[in-house]
Amino acid sequence: MDMWLLITEIVLLLGLAFVLGALAQRFRQSAIVGYLLAGAVLGPVMFNKEAVQQVAELGVALLLFSIGLEFSFSRLRRMGARAFMLGVLQILVTLGVFTLVFATRGALPQALGLGAIVALSSTAIVLRVLVDRTEIDSLHGRNALAILLTQDAAVVPLVLLVTILGHGGNIQGVSLHIIRTLSAAGGLAAVFYGLFYVVIPKALMSRGIFANRELVVLLAIAIGLGSAWAAHAIGLSPALGAFIAGMLLAESPFATQIRSDIVSLRTLFVTLFFTSIGMLADPGWFLANWIQALFWLAAVVILKATIIFGIGTLLRIRPMPALATGVALAQIGEFSFVLATEAHRGGIIAADDFDLIVTVTILSMFLAPYMVTYALPLAARVLSVFGKRREPPGPEAASEPVSSLCIRTFIIGFGPAGQQVADQLLENGVSPTVIELNPESAAIARRKDLPVHMVDATSADAISHVGITGTCLAIVTVPDPRSSQAIIRNIRLFAPQTTIIARSRYHIASDSLKAAGASLVVDEENTIGDELARETVESLRNARREALGCALAGEQP
């Protein structure tokens, strides 16, 4: 392999991916659509297509690792039993319905594989649009989030299902393969658990280690790529191993920082992954089979929306948000490419079916941003056509009660100043979330039963992952003025309406903190000056009282 030729082609891919991704964003599409188009355009002229696709396999592993870091069992649990049932039933019913549909085209293993592929929706596109439109806390936004979280958890069993279907053979051989696969996955999870909850925390808690960004970045890369390599070494899917590692790390205090540290690397490899998928698209096949492709696209959109609407109605979700949820999720997602590649490699689906599923997936991802954007109007129109009473839009925009939103507070920096602020807030019934990089200070916050994110708040990527959007109050107690300015700008970027109270260690830095976006600056030098003056005057008063008392007693002071 000519290394420089490979680098040349990767540079061309990334450059065209940037141009087409920017154009896609301009036309209110996901940048992923631009990446897919870049691969489709350059695919026919690539000489090292296989080498690029091998590099792209690392991209899907890092994608699943980062999605695993985003996944939270506790978050899904807080959504309640109905949200969990909504997600589980969506996967099972969609898998069952499309298996029956595809069974008319081929054998049962092929139908099951295609059903698993169609069951997943696009986490990357749907959540991005919902967040941009501030609809993540709407009724249909929360339903969509619950389903997507459940789908993320279902990636592991679905990958196992496709792997087992590809193994084939008799019942005994399949059973042995299932036992071997589950044992390997369980052993890998046990090893990861020991590393992530025993070895790594002890290393990172050492003084100065976690604060060194270079070391943590190296650790994040080693974990992300190492988990994929470990899974491959024992015969599992590298993507599966990376996802297991991400899920185990998701509940650790280091998850947010590691997530932000791998953003740049993940962007590189994930872009290569989607461009490599774009290379699989065959424009000639689409031109020859466009009627079939559009038919299956319509079938996927209509059936998925109907299935989710029916399940939502069964679970007593009102028609409007139930149908809006179905419309928002009526596409095939990025993880489906992973399942499709595994299924094609295992011989479950033929080349023609692979071309069909790739084409329909790309077309559905083109539609996805518009379907999420117009989910509510489309739902209202459909319900009015079928005689359903149109519901007022007010409750859809509702998120949390005002009383709960008003106490969403972050303290950035948990030194002595931050600890005093936390104590006062706790006394008044407010439990703040703490952002702190120092392990010892973070441990103090945890002893107060406060949620803690161990991240570098001067990093915009880190701030974007801690859930600061929608926060009412942020208190910045970091003493370094430059760090405080960077933190305030990051908060303003993701939560422009938040009230920010900042500590200014030096009077000269107060104006720059206000310019960065602080709502209120507590000038430490002025405050100390006022306190010193008060204590001085009080001391003089005490001295005068003592002198007066001595004079009255006939004594020398």
Same domain, 357 and 411: no
| Residue 213 domain flag | yes
How many whole angstroms separate alpha carbon 468 and alpha carbon 450?
15
Last residue of a domain, one of 352, 385, 418: 385
Number of Cβ within 10 Å of residue 460's Cβ equals 17
| Residue 552 domain flag | no
Query: Token match 């600061």: residue?
Result: 468
Query: Token match 């000038």: residue?
Result: 523
Query: What tokens appear for 551 in the block?
Result: 């004079």
The pLDDT assigned to 457 comes to 82
Same domain, 379 and 476: no
pTM: 0.64
| Residue 391 domain flag | no
How many whole angstroms separate alpha carbon 215 and alpha carbon 221?
10
Same domain, 351 and 460: no
- Residue 496 contacts residue 472 (beta carbons within 8 Å): no
CATH number at residue 150: 1.20.1530.20
Same domain, 253 and 121: yes
Spans of the chain, pLDDT less than 70: 1-2, 46-57, 59, 70-80, 131-132, 134, 137, 167-175, 177-178, 204-213, 251, 253-254, 256-257, 387-407, 461, 470, 545-557
| Residue 209 domain flag | yes
How many whole angstroms separate alpha carbon 106 and alpha carbon 97?
15
Same domain, 347 and 430: no
Q: What are the CB-based long-range contacts (under 8 Å, 24+) for 280-285?
A: 280/39, 280/43, 280/354, 280/355, 280/358, 281/36, 281/39, 281/40, 281/43, 281/358, 281/359, 281/362, 282/355, 282/359, 283/40, 285/355, 285/359
The pLDDT assigned to 167 comes to 65
Same domain, 330 and 416: no
Q: Which of 129, 138, 118, 142 is nearest to 32 (CA)?
A: 129
Same domain, 203 and 131: yes
64-94 per-position pLDDT tens digit: 777 777 666 666 666 667 778 888 999 999 9
Q: Which of 118, 121, 9 is nearest to 372 (CA)?
A: 121
For the chain, counts of helices (H) and of strands (E): 27, 6
Last residue of a domain, one of 385, 414, 441: 385
Q: Which of 163, 170, 182, 177 is nearest to 344 (CA)?
A: 163
Query: What tokens appear for 404 in the block?
Result: 């709960």
Q: Which of 430, 465, 468, 470 is nearest to 450 (CA)?
A: 430
How many whole angstroms separate alpha carbon 449 and alpha carbon 447?
5
Same domain, 376 and 442: no
59 three-state secondary structure? helix
Phi, psi of 333 (to 5 degrees): -100, 180
Same domain, 354 and 434: no
Residue 489's alpha-carbon distances to 88, 227, 495, 515, in angstroms, are 40, 35, 10, 9
Query: What tokens appear for 116 in the block?
Result: 């698993």
CATH number at residue 468: 3.40.50.720
- Residue 502 contacts residue 520 (beta carbons within 8 Å): yes
Q: Note the Cα 294 to chain centre separation in Å.
A: 31
Query: Token match 């085209």: residue?
Result: 105
Residue 240's alpha-carbon distances to 34, 51, 135, 267, 292, in angstroms, are 26, 21, 31, 19, 32
Last residue of a domain, one of 337, 352, 385: 385
| Residue 222 domain flag | yes
How many whole angstroms separate alpha carbon 89 and alpha carbon 472?
36
Same domain, 85 and 192: yes
Number of Cβ within 10 Å of residue 337's Cβ equals 25
Residue 467's alpha-carbon distances to 59, 251, 256, 454, in angstroms, are 25, 15, 10, 13
Query: What tokens appear for 110 in the block?
Result: 């092929």
The pLDDT assigned to 402 comes to 36
Query: What radius of gyration, in Å, describes the C-alpha atoms of the chain?
Result: 28
Query: What tokens appear for 277 in the block?
Result: 């998928």
Look up the domain containing 120 and give its range.
3-385
Number of Cβ within 10 Å of residue 352's Cβ equals 11
Question: Would you list the DSSP string of 187-240?
Answer: HHHHHHHHIIIIIHHHHHTSTTTTT-HHHHHHHHHHHHHHHHHHHHHTTS-HHH
| Residue 27 domain flag | yes
- Residue 365 contacts residue 32 (beta carbons within 8 Å): yes
Q: In what order do the strands lie in the sheet with 433-435?
A: 452-453, 433-435, 409-412, 473-476, 499-504, 520-523
Same domain, 250 and 298: yes
User: What 8-state DSSP symbol labels residue 392?
Assistant: P
236-260 per-position pLDDT tens digit: 777 777 877 877 777 676 676 677 7
Query: What tokens appear for 519 in the block?
Result: 């709502």
Contacts of 167 (CB under 8 A, 6+ apart): 173, 174, 177, 346
Same domain, 111 and 224: yes
| Residue 541 domain flag | no
Instruction: Name the domain count of the chain.
Output: 2
Contacts of 104 (CB under 8 A, 6+ apart): none
- Residue 450 contacts residue 431 (beta carbons within 8 Å): yes
The pLDDT assigned to 206 comes to 63
531-553 per-position pLDDT tens digit: 888 888 888 887 776 666 666 66
| Residue 551 domain flag | no
The pLDDT assigned to 156 comes to 74
Query: Token match 């091998």: residue?
Result: 54
- Residue 501 contacts residue 522 (beta carbons within 8 Å): yes
